[in-house]
Amino acid sequence: MQPKINDFHLEQYKALCEEWLSASTQLFELEAYVASLRSEIISQSGGERMEYGVTVQQVNSKGKVDYKGACSFLKVDDSILDAFRGEPSSYWKITRY
Contacts of 45 (CB under 8 A, 6+ apart): 56
pLDDT above 70: residue 6: yes
Residue 69 is predicted with a pLDDT of 92
The CA distance from 72 to 78, in Å, is 8
pLDDT confidence band for 84 (50 / 70 / 90)? confident
Residue 32 is predicted with a pLDDT of 97
Q: What percent of the chain has pLDDT over 70?
A: 95
Per residue in 29-52, pLDDT (tens digit) is 999 999 999 999 989 888 787 888
